[in-house]
Amino acid sequence: MRNGKDFYDQYRDLSLLRTDNISRYALRDIAITDLCLHFLAQYVPTESPQTIPFMLQGHLEHFIGSSARAPLFNLRQLAGNFCSRLAWRKALGLFESAKNSAAYKLANGQVIANESAPQALVQLLQMTLTSAAAYRLRNVAFAKPGPAKFEPRTRKNALFLTVPQKSLPSESPITLQKRAINPPIKIHLDSLREIAGQVDARERQSSFPQWLPKLNLRDRFERIDFEGLDDNFYSNNSITLDGTQHVVGMLSSGKSTFLQALLFLLLSPGYDKRVVVLTADTAAASNLVARMQAHGFTKSTVVSSFYNRDEHLSMAHWNAQGYPSNQALSATAALTQSLGIACPLEGFQSIVGASDEETLPLKMTDKPCHQLLQSSSSTEKTCPLIGGCPSHIQQRQLSRAEVIAMTPQALVHMTPDKTSLQEDMSFPELFQYIADVVLIDEADSVQKIFDSECTQEKDLLSTNESAFTLANVRAVTKSISDNTGFQYSSPVNVRWHRELNRLQDSISAIYHLLLQRREELQWLTEKQTFTSASILVDLFRSRSSNADDPKQTEVALEQIAILSGMLYSSLMPEDDNESQTEGSSVLASEFSKAFEFLHSAQRTIIDDITLFEPEIVIRRLENAIATGDLSLFSVPPSLDSEPNHKKLRFELLAPVHSRDRAFAVALALLTNVCLSSFAFLVRNHAAVEDDFELVGHDAFREARRILRHYGTLIPRPLYGTVFGLMFEPASQSRQGGTLKLINHLGVGRYLLTHFDKLLKHEGQAGPHTLLLSGTSWAGGISENASPTYDVQWPVSAILKQPHTEVIALQHSRYEFISLGSEPIPVSGQRPDQRRANLRKIAQLLGQSTHTGNRISHKWHQLEELWQDEADRTPQRHRALLVTNNYEDAKLVANELARVCSPAHPIYCLVSDRLARMGGIERDASYSGNGFHPKVILLPRSRVEDFGSSLAGSVLVAPLGPISRGHNIVTPDGFAAISTIYFLHRPHPRPDDYSSVTGMLNRLSMNVIHGDTAPQKEFESLESASKWFRRQARQSLDDGFALRSAYRLMSNKAREQYSWELLTSLWQTIGRGIRGGVPVYVGFVDERFAPGVYKSPSEVDTEYSSCLKQCETTLMKALTEGTEQGIADTLYRPFFDALQGLFSRVRTQNL
C-alpha cells in the first residue's frame, strides 16, 4: 500500500490553495486530480479527461506509448480510487473550485496549463509520475509492563491481560534492496544430474530421517527428455531461467523430478538462490520444508495463515499418524516445526476476561499480538514477547529464509507482519525484492486459484451481520445521524444513497418472487448463479426443438446476449454507463420488439411487484409471451410433449405455460436492477467512503483487502464488478434464505504470468518464475481454448513421455460399456434419478456370480489381451471408478460394499478435512447418510497408499482430486490400477462460476498481451475501452454458455468445454500407465455417446457426444495453427485412442 502523504504535503505547500477550510480528503483528491491532468497533458494530450478511469483499470497499457507506461503505473499507485467514474466526477467537481490554485485547468473538456501556477508545482507533479511512490510505513510500538486490554474478534467482552516485565529480542526487519537486474541463471542438465546423485547419497545415510520416503532422484532424472521450443530457455542440454517461462509435460514426463532437482541445485553452493515454492496445500509445504531441513537447508520455512494455524497443526499431527510408530514422533516434530501456536503472553496470565468463564488459551483469531491497549491511549500496541513467540516463527524467518513454501491462497491473502517488514505490502511485492526464483507446479491449478481468490462471494441479505445490504444501511444511517445529514450537500452522495435504496427495493422484490413462487422459479435458481441474461437464454433454449438448426439457434442466442446487454446498460445514467446502450442496430425485428417491451417493463418492475398488484405485470408479461412481443420466449404447442427438450444446465424442468415463464421474465428484470445497483455502489464506493465513514467497514472488508494490495498491480475487472446472484433457501420454514452475489475484483491470473515483472515500471527486477503443469496448455492461442486450464504464456519446453509409456498407451483399451439391455444415463438427470442410476451402475458392476463380477471378468479378459504383461497384470488387479464429486463417490462406494464379495475391498477417497477431527461423523449427521462399515476411507493426501492395497481392491474417487497429485504405483513402481471406469460425464456444477471468471480474465489477458484487437484502429482510448467492454459482455455470456446442457452449447462453447474435459480425463488416465504398462478405460454414462447406446446404434456427432467433440477439437489442434507440435506431443495418444474408440463402434455397426 503506497503512501501519498509526502506528495500531498508538498502539493499543499507549493500550490496556492487555502487549506484552512479544506479537509485532508479534499486536499488529497485535488492533488491527485491535478496529477491525473498532468499525466494527460504530458503523455496523452489528445485524450479526454473522461479516459482517466479507463486507464487506471490497467487494461490499456498496450495502446499507449512506451514512455507513458511507467508514469501510468505510478499514477495508479496513488489514484486507484478514480477507477470509479463517479469518484472521478466528484473529484473534478471539487477541483473546479480550486482550479486557480492548481497546475492545470479544464476548459471545454480539454486540459489547459495554468500559467500562474508555480513552476515548482509542475516539477513536483512530474517527479511524482516518474518516481516510485513510497510504501506506507508501519510503526511498531511495544506495550509496556502493566495492565492491558484488547477486544477479541470472536468474543463480546474486552479481555484484560498483564504485560510482564520482560521482552524478547526480535529479528531485524527486512531491508528492501533495489535490484535493477536479476541475472539469468544458466544450468546444464549434467549439473542437475549430479545434484540428483548427491541428494540420493544423503538420503541413503543412516542419519537421514527414515520417515521421509527416498526420492531416488538420479534414476528418475535419467528418464527426463526435454524438447525445447524456445532457445532462450533450452539449448545445448542447458536451461536458462530468465523471466517467466512455461514448461509442460503430460503423463509421467518427470515434472516433479525436474522441479525437485532444480530446487536442490538452486540452493547449492555456487548458486545460493532464495527460492519461493507454491504448493497445493500447507501439508505439502510442511513436507517440503521438512525434507529441505533434513538435507541441511535449515533456513527453510512454511508461510501459512495465522488464523488457520490450529487447523494446519492438527493436519500435521494427523498426517504423522500414517507413519510407523517408531517414526511418528520424529515425523511430527519435523512437520510441525513451522506451525507453532503457543502464545508466551498467555503463560504469564492466570485468568483472562470479564468473568472466570473466559479462560486461556485463546483462539488464533483472538490473539492480542498487535492489539493491546494501555491507559487512556487509543493506539494499539504490540506484545513485547513477539520476538520469541512460536506463533510468529514463520514471519521471523522471512528475512533469512532460503526456501519459502506457501499455498497460492496464502500468497494472495497474507501480508508480512510489521515486525518483520516495516513497509505495508503484499507477499508478491515483497518477493520482488527478496526472492531470486519462484517455482510453480500445477500452474493451471494455481491460475484457477488466483482467479477464484479475486472473485468474491458476498451475502446481500442473510443472518450474517456483515451482509452487504444490512451492514451498509446501518453504517450509512449512523453516519447520517452523527452528521445530521450534512452528507446530502454533495450530489454524489445523494446519488450513491439513492442507489443503495434502489438495491434494497430490488432485493425485497426478488425475495417476494422467490418465496412466493419458488416452485415456478427453482429451475432457474436451484444451486446456481443466475443473471438476467442467463434467465432469458434459458427461457429461449427451453422452447427450442431438438430439430432446430444449431447455427440459427446460435445466431438467436447472440441476439439475446446483445438484448440483455442493452437492458443492463439502460439502467445506468449516461455519465456512469460503462458500456452505453449500443447494439440496437444489429437486433433483428423480433428481438428489437422484445427489447422495447422489456425496456419499458424494467423501468417500473420494482414498483409493479412491491407497490402495486403483482398480478397485473405478470398478466401483461404472460400475454406478451403467449401472443405478443415476447413470443420468442414461449414454448410452441407442438413441443409440449417432446421429451427432454426442457432440460438445460439445470436439473429441474423448465415450465411450459406462459404464466409460469412470465415469473421468470420478471425475475430477470429484477436481477438486472439488483446487479446494476450493486455494481454502481461498489464501483463508486471510493467516492463516498469518507463522507459516509465506510472505510474499513465489514461489508467491504474482503474486497478492500484484495483491492488494497492488488488493485494497482493487477488489472481491474474488464466488465463491471458483478456477474451473478445465488439464492439458498433456508432450511427452517420461518426463514427466507440467503441471497448472494458474485463480485469480480480483478484479473487474478495476471499474478501468475507477470510475477517476475510486477514492479518493472519502478525499475525493480522480480524473481525468475518457472511454471510447470501437464494441462496448462489446453488450446493455447486458439480463441476457443480452455478458459480455466490454459495458461496464457508461450510454452518454452516440453517434457516428453518415456517411450515405454507411449507404447503402453498404444496397447491400452478404450470402450463404451453397456451394463444391461437399456443404456444408463447419469449426467443431466434429476438428482434423485442420478443417484438411483449411479446405484444401479454400482450394483451391475459389483454383483457377484459363481464366476465373479464384471470388474473381475474384465481383469481376466485383459490378461488374455495383454499377454506380454503376464507377469505384472495380476499384481495390477485394482479398479478406479470415477464420479463427479465426493458425495457421489460415497454413494457408489456404499453400494459396491453392499453387493461386492469380500474379495474386493472397497475404498472411497475423502477430503483430508473430512477425515480429520470427527469430520466423518459430522458429515453423516449432516447428510443423514454415513459410510457403509465395509468401506475403507482413503484421505486425498494418502491416495498413493492405494498402490499397496490388496489385489482386487476398488477405489471410488471424484474426477477433480484423482486427476492430480500423487502416483498410485505398486512396490515395483508400476501403475497399481489397470482398469478405470468413468461413471459420469463431467459437467460444471450449476453453482460453479469459474468458467465465467475464466472467460472474462482470459479476454483481459488477451487485451493486455495485444492478442485481441479490433478490425480497425481506435480513435481514442475511450472508444477502445468501450469496445473492450462490449467484448467482455460477450465473454460473460460465453462463460454462462459453458454451463448449459451439452446439446444446447454453441460451437464455441462445445470446443472450450471439450478442452476442459479432455485435460481432466487424460490426467486421470495417466494414473494407469506409470512405469510403462497399459490401462483399460471404460465410459459408462450413456451421455458420453448417446448414439452408440441406441438400438440400432447411430453415428455420434460433436452435437451429441462430448468425446466426439474432444476428438474433433484435438484434430483441429493437431492440423491447424502454429502450435501443432505442442498438441501432438501432449495429446496425440489420446486423439488416437478416441479415433480408435469411435472406429470400433463404426466397424461394429457395419
In tens, the pLDDT along 156-202 reads 778 889 999 988 887 889 999 999 999 999 999 999 999 999 999 99
In a domain, 199, yes or no: yes
Contacts of 777 (CB under 8 A, 6+ apart): 246, 248, 790, 791, 795, 1123, 1126, 1130
In a domain, 797, yes or no: no
Contacts of 486 (CB under 8 A, 6+ apart): none
What pLDDT was estimated at residue 331? 93
Task: Determine the 3-state secondary structure of 550 from DSSP.
Answer: helix
What pLDDT was estimated at residue 17? 78
What pLDDT was estimated at residue 1148? 52
CATH number (domain holding residue 944):
3.40.50.300
Are the C-beta atoms of residues 309 and 365 closer than 8 Å to each other?
A: no
What pLDDT was estimated at residue 468? 80
397 and 329 co-located in one domain:
yes
974 and 1003 co-located in one domain:
no
- What is the residue whose three cell numbers read 434502489? 502
| HEC per residue, 64-78 | CCHHHHHHHHHHHHH
Q: What does the block give as the cell for 805? A: 509409456
Task: Determine the 3-state secondary structure of 637 from DSSP.
Answer: helix
In a domain, 981, yes or no: yes
Domain boundary among 1010, 1041, 1072: 1041
b/e map 946-969, b = 16+ CB within 10 Å: bbebeebbbbbbbbebbbbbbbbb
b/e map 1072-1107, b = 16+ CB within 10 Å: bbbbbbbbbbbbbbbbbbbbbbeeeeeebebebbbb
Domain boundary among 130, 155, 174: 130
What pLDDT was estimated at residue 737? 86
In a domain, 397, yes or no: yes
Tell me the β-bridge partners of 113. Answer: 104
What pLDDT was estimated at residue 720? 56
Helices (H), 517-613: 518-525, 532-541, 550-570, 589-610
672 and 727 co-located in one domain:
yes
Q: CA–CA separation, 588 vs 604, rounded Å?
A: 25
- What is the residue whose three cell numbers read 466397424? 1147
In a domain, 944, yes or no: yes
Are the C-beta atoms of residues 530 and 564 closer than 8 Å to each other?
A: no
693 and 829 co-located in one domain:
no
982 and 999 co-located in one domain:
no
Q: How many CB atoms lie within 10 A of CB 169?
A: 7
444 and 464 co-located in one domain:
no
Q: CA–CA separation, 675 vs 670, rounded Å?
A: 9
1037 and 1103 co-located in one domain:
no
999 and 984 co-located in one domain:
no
1024 and 1136 co-located in one domain:
no
With residue 337 as reference, give the H or E element that holds it: none
What pLDDT was estimated at residue 584? 52
Instruction: Please give the DSSP secondary-structure letter assigned to residue 784.
Output: T
Tabulate helix, strand, coil % of the chain (nearest 5). Answer: 50, 10, 40
In a domain, 494, yes or no: yes
195 and 223 co-located in one domain:
yes
In a domain, 338, yes or no: yes
Q: CA–CA separation, 601 vs 630, rounded Å?
A: 12
Contacts of 235 (CB under 8 A, 6+ apart): 228
Q: Is the peptide bond before 933 cis (omega within 30 degrees of 0)?
A: no
What pLDDT was estimated at residue 734? 58
- What is the residue whose three cell numbers read 478435512? 913
Query: Could you give the angle at which helices 282-294 and 325-335 cross, rounded to 10 degrees?
Result: 100
Q: Where are the beta strands (DSSP E) in 800-942?
A: 813-816, 879-883, 906-910, 935-939
Q: CA–CA separation, 1061 vs 1063, rounded Å?
A: 6
Tell me the β-bridge partners of 440. Answer: 278, 771
Q: Which long-range contacts (CB under 8 A, 24 or more apart) does 414-419 make?
A: 414/303, 414/305, 414/306, 415/709, 416/174, 417/392, 418/138, 418/139, 418/140, 418/370, 418/382, 419/140, 419/170, 419/171, 419/173, 419/382, 419/386, 419/387, 419/392, 419/395
What pLDDT was estimated at residue 846? 92
Contacts of 375 (CB under 8 A, 6+ apart): none
Are the C-beta atoms of residues 290 and 450 closer than 8 Å to each other?
A: no
1013 and 984 co-located in one domain:
no
430 and 473 co-located in one domain:
no
Ranges of the chain with pLDDT below 50: 352-357, 575, 577-583, 641-651, 925, 1149-1150
Q: CA–CA separation, 42 vs 848, rounded Å?
A: 81
In a domain, 381, yes or no: yes
Total tally of structural domains belonging to the chain: 4
Q: Based on the number of CB atoms within 10 Å of its own CB, is 143 exposed (0-12), middle (13-18) or buried (19 or more)?
A: buried
Task: Determine the 3-state secondary structure of 484 from DSSP.
Answer: coil
Domain hosting 571: range is 455-746+992-1041
